[in-house]
């Protein structure tokens, strides 16, 4: 099955503004792209591509003050059309049992108020039991 993908985003800023956008397919899908798929910033704009720490294709750009910048991508990809496989029953795992490449998703981020989000998460989900039905996963309730 062939799937057309794409987007067009216009940005106008009051001052010169640097930005990053993720508008591309992931690199492992690139061999299946039959046409296009490259992010373009129009005649006046420039984009520089890079991979982030999660393997996503990103572009960085500068939107010049008062001038519209249009980021666009258009392409066709070959796909089998089937949904991604999802485990029927997700399994909770203890942190020591997690694979090392999953640990980066547990690290605090400067883009998120982790202390506030942590308190919110414990208040909503702290009484959740593990997959084996043992007591709360909240360490403060295990004492």
Higher pLDDT, 142 or 96: 96
Say yes or no: 73 and 103 in one domain. no
- Neighbour count for residue 57 (Cβ, 10 Å): 19
Choosing from 78, 103, 128, the residue where a domain stops is 78
Instruction: Give domain status of residue 123, yes or no.
Output: yes
Instruction: Give domain status of residue 39, yes or no.
Output: yes
Say yes or no: 13 and 52 in one domain. yes
Report d(CA 36, CA 77) in Å as an integer: 9
At residue 143, the pLDDT reads 42
Say yes or no: 32 and 99 in one domain. no
Instruction: Give domain status of residue 90, yes or no.
Output: no
- With contact defined as beta carbons under 8 Å apart, do 62 and 20 qualify? no
Say yes or no: 15 and 63 in one domain. yes
Count of domains observed in the chain? 2
Say yes or no: 18 and 64 in one domain. yes
Supply the pTM of this predicted model. Answer: 0.62
pLDDT at 18 over 80: yes
Enclosing domain of residue 102: 95-141
pLDDT at 52 over 80: yes
Say yes or no: 109 and 63 in one domain. no
At residue 131, the pLDDT reads 55
Least reliable range by pLDDT among 7-16, 18-27, 70-79, 87-96? 87-96
Positions of E strands within 43-113: 48-51, 57-63, 69-78
Say yes or no: 68 and 133 in one domain. no
Instruction: Give domain status of residue 89, yes or no.
Output: no
Higher pLDDT, 120 or 135: 120
pLDDT at 129 over 80: no
Instruction: Give domain status of residue 86, yes or no.
Output: no
Instruction: Give domain status of residue 88, yes or no.
Output: no
At residue 136, the pLDDT reads 47
Residue 52 main-chain phi, psi, to 5 deg:
-80, 180
């Amino acid at each position: 099955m062939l799937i057309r993908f794409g987007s067009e985003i216009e940005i106008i800023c009051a001052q010169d503004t640097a930005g990053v956008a993720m508008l591309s397919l992931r690199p492992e899908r690139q061999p299946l792209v039959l046409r296009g798929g490259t992010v373009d910033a129009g005649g006046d704009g420039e984009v520089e591509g890079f991979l982030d720490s999660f393997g996503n294709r990103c572009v960085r750009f500068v939107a010049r003050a008062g001038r519209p910048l249009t980021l666009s991508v258009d392409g066709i990809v070959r796909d089998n059309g089937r949904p991604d496989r999802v485990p029927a029953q997700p399994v909770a795992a203890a942190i020591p049992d997690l694979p090392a490449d999953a640990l980066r998703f547990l690290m605090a981020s400067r883009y998120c108020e982790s202390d506030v989000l942590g308190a919110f998460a414990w208040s909503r989900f702290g009484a959740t039991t593990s997959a084996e039905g043992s007591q709360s996963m909240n360490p403060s309730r295990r004492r």
